[in-house]
Amino acid sequence: MNNRAIIYCRKSTDRDDKQQNSLESQMNACMRTIETNNFVVVDTLIESASAKKSGKRPFFDSLLSICKQKKVDYIVVDEASRLSRNNTDSAKILGLLEEGHIK
């Protein structure tokens, strides 16, 4: 089965009036992608943390681990900035792609 996916949503601030993309709207967008591509959701990770600095997001670390174990084929996010806003974490995601852990 090559259509296993993990959903990752991230709220970057505790203040709802500053949040540009709510967790609910992110999840709705991810579910549309899941349905369009006939993906099977293996897990959903929802995080409330800034992505400006690496090493501050436990659910992102879990995401990397799940991908390295080849438990999923795809990461589904509303937009790429939900995954990373720093070079270190971006390189980790690119490494997963290059090493064939995800598509």
Give the per-residue pLDDT at 66: 98
Token digits of residue 68: 């390295």
Mean predicted confidence (pLDDT) in 26-30: 97
Q: Report the pLDDT averaged over residues 96-100.
A: 96
Pair 102, 67: CB distance under 8 Å: yes
Tell me the percentage of the chain whose pLDDT exceeds 70: 91
Better-predicted residue by pLDDT, 12 or 66: 66
Q: What is the pLDDT of residue 24?
A: 94
Cα–Cα nearest to 84, from 61, 59, 56, 52: 52
In the numeric block, the tokens 């992110």 are attached to 26
Rounded to the nearest 5 degrees, what angle is found at the Cα of 70, between the Cα atoms of 35 and 61?
90
Model pLDDT, residue 12: 80
* Residue linked to tokens 């995800």: 102
Global model pTM greater than 0.75: yes
